[in-house]
Structure 1
Amino acid sequence: MKRAPTHSYPGLNLGRRHPGADKASEVVTFGFWVFLMSDLVYFGLMFAIYITMIDAQAGGPGPHELFDLTSIFAQTLILLTSSLTVGLAMLALKYNLPRPRIVLWFAVTLVLGLSFLVLEIRDFLAMAEKGGIPQRSGFLSAFYGLVPLHGLHVAAGCLWLIVLGIQLRVFGLTDVLMSRVVRLALFWHFLDLIWIGIITIVYFGGLTYG
């Protein structure tokens, strides 16, 4: 029998195997979409500030002196791979695979997320050694207002992964936790989209126009 269409949110669908969790998650997931869109507006403002300040280097170091493309490529590869592992966790949930499979993919995602943060912090320290500190110029203030903000979101996502992984092991796949898994997946994919914007506008754009 065909399910009646719902219009509460345009998000991930847990499907017929989890009708209770699927229905219960609609309202809260819609609210989470609203949060993500408001966060997107804030990131959009930070991108706009960066674009307007890209030439405001005040004689200080610029993109060509500060950006390490090898590290940026590695960070991109790590973060995109983590998006794949989150997707695999969602598929494991949707198709009733054993709970340890979901926890395993979350653990892999956590390792990738932490690896990304380590590389990013290393880049920030290397930039500081070259004089690339926030107060040096408007360009660097805009850079540090945007890129570390994304890093803080990744750190929050890693903390969320830890807490949710513990809850899954202790309480099992309850409807509430399934809903949280859906929202975590949305959040993580959102971070990947923001990162694509960062490498395109901040790094490649900076190297092209800075």
Structure 2
Amino acid sequence: MQKLLEGLNKFKENDFETHKELFEELREAQNPHTLFIGCSDSRLDPNLITQTLPGELFVVRNIANIVPPYRKSQEYLSTTSAIEYAVKVLKIQHIVVCGHSNCGGCRSLYLPDEILSTIPHTKKWLELAVPVKNKVLADVIEEKGKREWMTEQINILEQMKNLLTYPFIQEKYTEKTLSIYGWYYMIETGEVYIYNKQNGLFELSN
């Protein structure tokens, strides 16, 4: 905790003062251009890897960067409501679904039930990614490393598809007023691979 408190002081003395005018502008409202949907993993920092300033990204993070398919419900829907707010209220122009290497959430899809049963809420959440697991297992991949990155990348594509189940996203996407991107971040190298819809491959960003 002491490290966090020292960080607060350094922020106020250095970063805040450097961007003081920006924070003054942001006092009344935000106008982010991009909705960034990423994993809760502590190793993924959206603003750091994109070098963006406060006010540019509206960030949604959860285990395995999952987008639940659209549905109307009386339940409390955190990710769904954040997406709705970003698109309908903030009117963002871009959505990025960013997965990453060595993703614990994706790896948990293959845990035995006796382990998953000890984390019941996580187990329930990961049910949303079962279609991803089924697609990977259909390829009968024996090599663990290959199965891992395939799961992480296919998961990104599934969440991009789920975004289009939201009527207000589908409408804007069809009108070409909203774009959707899939990113795969390599923790160990700092590289980001961007999904190319034309050839169906994740390609290293330039």
TM-score of the superposed pair, with normalisation by structure 2:
0.26
Of Structure 1 and Structure 2, which has the larger fraction of its residues in strand? Answer: 2
Q: Say which structure is richer in helix.
A: 1
State the structure with bigger RCO (CA 8 A, min sep 6), 1 or 2.
1
